[in-house]
Chains A and B, each alone.
Chain A
Amino acid sequence: MKLASLFSGGKDSTYALYLAKKFSHEIACIITMDSQNKDSYMFHTPVDNVGYLAARMQLPLIKFSTQGKKEKELVDLKKAIKLAIKKYEIEGVVTGAVASTYQASRMQKICNELDIYCFNPLWQKNQIALLNELIKNNFKFKIVKVAADGLNNSWINKILDKKSIIELIKLSQRYKFSVTGEGGEIETEIIDCPLFKKDKPVERTLFRDTTSTESSAILKYFL
């Protein structure tokens, strides 16, 4: 089935995309919501590097700007998915939702209204198992934002490996935050993974995105 990946550049959405491909689905495009609201419940911020990451995967990107106002941002998300249906004839989306029923139920409603499938392959997955599975499957990722008691700025830009994951788990248990950071406690960015094409090196600086305030949709093709 042709799917769009709802992609933030973080570990969860990238791993969900990876699983969709592993289960023989075609990823026709990536959709990224570029929210002006840093505290959005719905979307990961920042998404400055998604252009570069899309290029590494050689996938077309629909980057859709939204002010990130509660519920209005869902109208923007629906518009972005409609664009993917029209442009790439997708029949479903794949998301990295793990435990947030706020995000998952809103995605389900939008997909239901658009009569497309909604896949959430990480749904209810044990958070520690998820982190270990990412490492086992050669996903390299770093923390780009922290917002939880117990996590100071020394975590920013830290690449998560077996050792730092153990440290993060201990802190999450002590300070009671989600170790996968789905509630925004941590935001991650993929550095390397099996989805990245090795044969076509991409200059990161060429794809540093700019924020659009005027246009509602920015279509970029990197193929």
Chain B
Amino acid sequence: MMLVINLNKYKLHDLEFIKPITDLLTRFRVVHYKNLKQSDLDSAEKIIVAGTSLKDDEYLRDIKSFSWIKSYKKPILGICSGMQILALANGAKLKKTKEIGQIQIKILKEDHLINNVEKVYSLHQFSTTLPKGFDLLAKSSKSIQAIRKGNHYGLMFHPEVFNKEVIMDFAKDI
């Protein structure tokens, strides 16, 4: 089962930031980060931490809720705000960097998850520094776009828009 962690402050945003992801999955469960229990983490096979809207940054005030991430053994894919959380939990810092709409990224290190990705959809006003121990997989002209440490991935772009195959690849075998 894929556990999809929801960061949205408003439920109406679930249709925009959660539904396009779960439409690509077969076995999944969606849990809001404020309701997340240890049993949810234990029963998941993999986790996607989904993104949220540009103006919604409530999750940044609750960053302590994600202290479990660093030592979590199973695969994680952090998308946009989800990547910010993954990076912050691993000691990185946020920078004000606005990218909205279609952009190009450059692959810096080959990885099966993003090898065919060039054109991406971006929707963020913060980017992250590279967390210690992570590989830098891809960059845009303004920001780090993809990082990896073991089975933990962070993507600053929204693969559910132009790059649905990334999510399906991450979710394969589930």
Contacts and interface: CB of A to CB of B under 8 A. Distances in A.
Interface of A: 1, 19-20, 23, 25, 92, 94, 101, 105-106, 108-109, 111-112, 115-126
B123 A19 contact: no
Contacts of B53: 117-119
Interface in B92-134: 98, 100-102, 121, 123, 125
Contacts, number: 66
Contacts of B56: 117
B161 interface: yes
Interface string B44-57: 00000000011110
Interface stretch (B12-20, B32-40, B74-82): B12-20
Nearest to B98: A112
| Residue picked from B12, B53, B100, most chain A C-beta under 10 Å | B12
Main secondary structure of the interface of B (DSSP, over half): mixed
Given A105-B102, A108-B100, A124-B161, A20 B55 contact: no
B42 interface: no
A9 B125 CA distance: 32
Contacts of A1: 10
A101 B13 contact: no
Given A119-B13, A119-B16, A126 B23 contact: yes
A105 B13 contact: no
Given A101-B101, A105-B100, A117-B10, A111 B54 contact: yes
A10 B63 CA distance: 41
A108 B54 contact: yes
A121 B12 CA distance: 7
A108 B12 contact: no
